[in-house]
Every structure is written in structure tokens, then in C-alpha cells.
Amino acid sequence: MPQLNPADFAPQLIWLAIIFIGLYFLLSRVALPRIGEVIEERRDRIQRDLDEAERLKTETEKAIASYEQALAEARGRAHNIAQETREKLSAEVARERTDVDKNIAEQTAAAEERIAIAKSAALLQVNEIAVETTETIVNELIGATTTGDEVAAAVSRASANT
């Protein structure tokens, strides 16, 4: 094998050392910093963009949430207003009805009073008429003259009996 020829070892090792060290310095001083820089910059940029997107997303979510909240609030307020109006209306209706009821009751009471007066007046008249009629009838029938007081007592007894 030509690889095992010791005479060839020295030049290969020497040139390997020279070239490897040269390559090391070329790469570590020139090439790698450039690549690393670009990669870092890109990573930063991507990170920034991602963060921005994330931020916008959360903002949009917040906006939607607040919109929905506002919507819900508005709905609630509308509901409240309707409720209040209904209550006010029904209260008014109730008050009016009680007014009317009172009115009617008063009028009814007055009418009843009038009727009672009329009735008692009528009843008095009926008694007088009955006494007179009884007096007349008795006078006519028996020809006797009765006093008004006797007749009246009798009538009231009779009317009490009936």
C-alpha cells in the first residue's frame, strides 16, 4: 500500500497542518462570523415578525371580545328600558283603574243613599195611604168614626204581621 510509505508521511503532515490552520483562520475569522451574523439577524427578524403577528392576533381577539361585551351590554340595557316602561305603564293603568273604581263606588253610594231616602219616603207615604184608606174603608163599611190613631195602630200591626 502506498499509504504505508514512511517517506511520504512528512510532506503530507506538514501540508495538512499548513492548510488546516489556514482554513481554520479563513473560516473562523471571515466566513463563519458572516454566516452567523446573517442567521442571527434573520432569526431576530422572524422572531420580531412572529411576535408582531401574535400581538395583532391578541389585539383582534380583544377587540372582538369587547365588541361582544358592548353588544351584550346594549342588549341588557334595552331589556331594562322595556321592563321599566312596562312597569310604569302598568302602574299608571292600575292607578287609573282605582280612580275609576273609587268614582264609581262614590256614585253608587250616592245613588244608593238617594234610593234609600226615596224608599223610606215612599214607605211613609204608603203607611199614610194605608191609614187613610183603612179609615175610609172602615168608615164606609161600619159607618163608625174611628180615630186616626186606632187605625194607624192597626195598620202597623197588620203590616207587622204580613
By CB under 8 A, name the binding residues for other proteins: 1-5, 7-17, 19-20, 22-24, 26-28, 30-32, 34-39, 41-42, 45, 50, 53-54, 57, 60-61, 64, 67-68
Spatial contact of 146 and 139, defined as CB atoms under 8 Å apart? yes
In the bound state with other proteins, the residue whose beta carbon lies nearer, of 65 and 82, is: 65
State the minimum distance, in angstroms, from the CB of residue 42 to other proteins.
5
In the bound state with other proteins, the residue whose beta carbon lies nearer, of 62 and 157, is: 62
**Count of CB atoms situated within 10 Å of the CB of 157:** 10
Task: Return the C-alpha cell found at 35.
Answer: 454566516
State the minimum distance, in angstroms, from the CB of residue 41 to other proteins.
7
In the bound state with other proteins, the residue whose beta carbon lies nearer, of 15 and 137, is: 15
State the minimum distance, in angstroms, from the CB of residue 86 to other proteins.
24
Distances from the Cα of 77 to the Cα of 12, 49, 63, 70, 89, angstroms: 91, 42, 21, 10, 18
In the bound state with other proteins, the residue whose beta carbon lies nearer, of 30 and 141, is: 30
State the minimum distance, in angstroms, from the CB of residue 83 to other proteins.
24
Task: Return the C-alpha cell found at 1.
Answer: 500500500
The angle formed by the CA atoms of residues 34, 35 and 39, to the nearest 5 degrees, is 120
State the minimum distance, in angstroms, from the CB of residue 85 to other proteins.
22
In the bound state with other proteins, the residue whose beta carbon lies nearer, of 28 and 120, is: 28
Task: Give one DSSP letter per residue of 94-139, joined into a string.
Answer: HHHHHHHHHHHHHHHHHHHHHHHHHHHHHHHHHHHHHHHHHHHHHH
